[in-house]
Chain A
Amino acid sequence: MTKEKFTEEVADMLGVAQNELKKQVTLESFERWDSLSMLSMLNLYDEMELDIEVEDVESCKTIGDLFSLASFH
């Protein structure tokens, strides 16, 4: 999966425009960041065949952390 596609998926999951996904923005600031969106993230990582667990997603604090898990910088 390309970084562009990943960005599109994350924006769609959080229900925001792609330009709102700045690295340092905290996940807590998004209304939609809840257990359902955490599971959607996990599924996205699964689709990318990455070895990510629920705890890894839970420990993410910022948009940048979500991208780092997928090795996008």
Chain B
Amino acid sequence: MPKINFENITITAITTTVGDKKIYLADEKERFGFDDESLERIQRSIGLESRYVVSDGVCTSDLCLQSAEDIFAHTQIKKEDIDALLFVTQSPDYKAPSTAIIMQDRLGLNHDTAAFDINLGCSGFIYGLFTAYSYINTGMKKVLLCVGDVNSYFSGERDKIFTPLMGDAGSAIIIEKKPAPKSYFSLYSDGSGYKHLIIPAGGVRTPTTPETLLAKMRDDGGIRRDEDLFMDGKEVFNFAIKTVPPLIRELLESSGKESDEIDYFVLHQANPYILKTIASRLKVPKEKVPLQTGKIYGNQNSASIAGTINGFLSDAFSNANLTIAIAGFGIGLSWGGAILQIDNIYAPKAQLYKKDIS
């Protein structure tokens, strides 16, 4: 694919809503069967501490709706100016129809709004953003991009491999036409690795049966159902550290920028350990690579880049003109990145889900 760039299109608002229950890993020792030593190892080497998850029955769309309503309530952006609503998720409200269409009605957007879902995980923020930029490029005024997942829905109840990493979050992002320097995108796919991150059953290939709903002890020591997400941690780690540094270097090259011109490298927050390794391979100052999201909030899938901005960089994004490099990588396998300029946008601190809204 040719390297794509856009001009005079930018992000003007980013908000994130996270699950309202904060769970500390130390309180889940029994659930996952950790002894004190293995708990300490995981906390120390992977850098896990807590995660925010929703209460039963709360959907990703509920989190995204709260994020979107916050933007309409606190900025000059009007609902009638939204020409498209894109919803990137792996935890839709229903198998069909697309949740984005239901969200059009719940938000009270015009009928002449294009709305559809995009099924992607950790690379989803980049793909959603690219699609939004493309739509603005064709003449749309404003696009509302919603991203996120209720990961707790497909995380095995007692899966010590995957579940301790994951949090729930839904973000809303506004993309619009506005004078702005060029932005640069690169997108990649490698389906040969689809088995490394997968919910094996529940689709047409392997339909749901009583058997697929049984939680079983697996070879990796995790207890999960075939309807839960399986992750081959070592393969995913290897994939991430091999693809992300070259992707960032490629983006720097196509944008003609030096790495010291980048204010922040906001990367998908798989877990602090992966981020630390990527940061050291990129040879950029540590303070430019935020990595705390996985430690405090958990891995938020497609919401993790927005979640990091709202979670830890709210002041910087609200009060400065920043050049940022972003990258997402994961399930698919799918990865992509962008270099963008973001100028004093609406980026409040991440908020907890409030049950009374929606």
Contact = CB atoms under 8 A, between A and B. Distances in A.
The reply to whether chain A is a binding partner of chain B is yes
A59 B230 CA distance: 25
Given A54-B234, A54-B237, A54-B238, A39 B45 contact: yes
A36 interface: yes
A38 B276 CA distance: 15
A43 B275 CA distance: 11
Interface in B216-253: 233-234, 237-238, 241-242
A42 interface: yes
B277 A43 contact: yes
A36 B46 contact: yes
B24 to A, nearest CB: 20
**Chain A contact surface mostly:** helix
Contact of B234 (A35, A47, A53): A35
Nearest to A36: B45
B280 interface: yes
B258 interface: no
Interface in B45-80: 45-46
Contacts of A53: 238, 242
A46 interface: yes
A36 B233 CA distance: 10
A46 B234 contact: no
Given A54-B234, A54-B237, A39 B273 contact: yes
B37 interface: yes
Interface in A19-54: 35-36, 38-40, 42-43, 46-47, 53-54
A12 B242 CA distance: 27
B106 interface: no
A73 to B, nearest CB: 26
Nearest to A54: B238
A15 B37 contact: yes
B111 interface: no
Contacts of B276: 43
A38 B37 CA distance: 17
Contact of A47 (B42, B45, B241, B280): B280
B235 to A, nearest CB: 9
B281 interface: yes
B281 A39 contact: no
B41 interface: yes
Contacts of A38: 234
Interface in B254-297: 273, 276-277, 280-281
Contact of B281 (A35, A36, A40, A46): A46
B41 A36 contact: yes
Nearest to B235: A54
B280 A46 contact: yes
A12 B335 CA distance: 35
A46 B237 contact: no
Contacts of B280: 43, 46-47
Interface of A: 15, 35-36, 38-40, 42-43, 46-47, 53-54
The 10 A-B residue pairs whose C-beta atoms are closest, nearest first, are A54-B238, A35-B234, A46-B280, A40-B45, A36-B45, A43-B277, A35-B233, A46-B277, A36-B41, A39-B237
Interface of B: 37, 41-42, 45-46, 233-234, 237-238, 241-242, 273, 276-277, 280-281
Given A36-B45, A39-B277, 5 more contacts: A36-B41, A43-B273, A54-B234, A54-B238, A54-B241
